């Protein structure tokens, strides 16, 4: 199968990580994959790709016109030329702005196009009014629209009526994710225990609520520390919040890490407090690494990933008391953390493993190609 895959960039982001995982997975099994970052400024590829993946920067194919006010037109012609050059069986596109450009550019070429939303449409602020209008116009042209969670289906159907097919495909776990570390007994555990969170330091992650929840529990759990990995515009504000709690020696904001899985594996428990998620990869990976987790029930993803709270403690969004109680429950009980972590790892590795997700994608691609096949038969 020949797959032409459009993404915005290949910087260090969640959508880019999933694109790299899928592209490499398809290439590894023998499909021909061309991955195309469409960002005009080009850039670099943060994630390692399978050597068989062909990486084509759209900026390289736009010439000098792509650096002028004719950029949208240059992108359109560059995409159409690329489709003709690669002759794909299917086109896949990630992110709203890229999806709209690709749908307009490939209109009338006869290749099935699958567009993928990477945020919860009812809460995302990434699509302004004009982009929303263009999405409403162009998405019915797509063979299939893919969302990441069941939570977002109803809202998106209302926002963009007339779509041919709307399906849910979750993100896969990275195939190189290490196995969970062997469980340690309570006697073997280090003197200091670690509650961990990870993500961009932005308002939507609500790390301030986690700091306050930990501060409320700190006197009762003097052997626990909180580490929040990540960077962003709220760093100074969050550092001030930590200082105000008087817990600067126990709450740390060390910045970004180049080894997130190593750090997650060192945690005794993991917490996610986001207001909204497209699909929380870090929660999924923490569970896959055998960490006992507390997560708010935000849209979208946590309820599905945890199976309604079966494999992690699920608390109502905005209920600070419930968050404190859930954290206390995990921090107080070594056996609960061990059992919950092992069961969570077993479940998500089976449900969200790359082979399982690729199998789901195979069905989506086959279904998206059906109209094209029928049209070709009728034309003959």
Give the pLDDT confidence of 209-246 residue by residue, as tens digits.
999 999 999 999 999 999 999 999 999 999 999 999 99
| pTM for this predicted structure | 0.87
Q: Would you say 238 and 212 are in contact if contact means Cβ atoms under 8 Å apart?
A: no
> In this predicted structure, what is the pLDDT of residue 373?
41
Give the pLDDT confidence of 293-345 residue by residue, as tens digits.
999 999 888 999 999 999 999 999 999 999 999 999 999 999 999 999 999 99
First and final CA of the chain: distance in angstroms? Answer: 22
Phi, psi of 134 (to 5 degrees): -65, -35
**Mean pLDDT for the stretch of residues 152-165:** 90
Dist CA 153 CA 280 (whole Å) = 17
Q: What is the bridge-based pairing of β-strands 292-296 and 313-315?
A: parallel
Q: Is 194 helix (H, G, I), strand (E, B) or coil?
A: strand
Q: Please say if the pLDDT value at position 8 is more than 80.
A: yes
Q: Is 249 helix (H, G, I), strand (E, B) or coil?
A: coil
**Mean pLDDT for the stretch of residues 70-93:** 92
Structural domains in the chain plus CATH codes: 2-171+354-379 (3.40.50.2000), 193-351 (3.40.50.2000)
Q: Is 211 helix (H, G, I), strand (E, B) or coil?
A: helix
Nearest to 171 by CA among 149, 151, 204: 149
Nearest to 210 by CA among 326, 114, 301: 326
Dist CA 306 CA 280 (whole Å) = 11
Q: Would you say 24 and 50 are in contact if contact means Cβ atoms under 8 Å apart?
A: yes
CA 368 to chain CA centroid, nearest Å:
23
> In this predicted structure, what is the pLDDT of residue 376?
36
């Amino acid at each position: 199968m020949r797959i032409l895959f459009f993404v915005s960039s290949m910087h260090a982001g969640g959508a880019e990580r999933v694109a790299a995982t899928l592209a490499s997975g398809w290439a590894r099994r023998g499909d021909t994959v061309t991955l195309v970052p469409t960002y005009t400024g080009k850039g670099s590829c943060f994630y390692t790709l399978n050597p068989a993946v062909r990486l084509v920067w759209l900026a390289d194919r736009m010439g000098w016109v792509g650096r002028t006010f004719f950029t949208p037109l240059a992108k359109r012609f560059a995409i159409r030329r690329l489709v003709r050059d690669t002759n794909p069986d299917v086109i896949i596109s990630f992110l709203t702005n890229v999806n709209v450009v690709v749908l307009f550019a490939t209109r009338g070429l006869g290749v099935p196009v699958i567009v993928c939303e990477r945020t919860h449409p009812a809460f995302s602020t990434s699509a302004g009014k004009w982009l929303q209008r263009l999405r409403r116009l162009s998405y019915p042209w797509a063979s299939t629209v893919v969302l990441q969670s069941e939570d977002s289906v109803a809202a998106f159907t209302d926002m963009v009526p007339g779509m041919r097919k709307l399906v849910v495909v979750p993100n896969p776990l990275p195939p190189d994710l290490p196995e969970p570390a062997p469980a340690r007994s309570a006697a073997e555990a280090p003197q200091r225990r670690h509650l961990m969170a990870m993500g961009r330091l932005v308002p939507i992650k609500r790390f301030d609520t986690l700091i306050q929840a930990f501060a409320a529990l700190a006197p009762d759990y003097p052997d626990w520390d909180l580490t929040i990995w990540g960077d962003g515009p709220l760093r100074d504000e969050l550092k001030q919040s930590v200082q105000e709690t008087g817990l600067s020696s126990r709450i740390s904001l060390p910045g970004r890490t180049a080894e997130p899985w190593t750090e997650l594996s060192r945690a005794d428990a993991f917490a996610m407090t986001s207001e909204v998620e497209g699909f929380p990869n870090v929660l999924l990976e923490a569970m896959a690494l055998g960490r006992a987790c507390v997560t708010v029930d935000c849209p979208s993803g946590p309820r599905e990933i945890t199976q309604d709270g079966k494999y992690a403690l699920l608390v109502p969004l905005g209920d600070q008391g419930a968050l404190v109680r859930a954290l206390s429950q995990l921090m107080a009980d070594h056996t609960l953390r061990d059992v919950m972590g092992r069961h969570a790892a077993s479940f998500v590795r089976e449900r969200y493993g790359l082979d399982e997700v690729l199998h789901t994608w195979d069905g989506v691609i086959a279904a998206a190609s059906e109209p094209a096949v029928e049209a070709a038969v009728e034309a003959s």
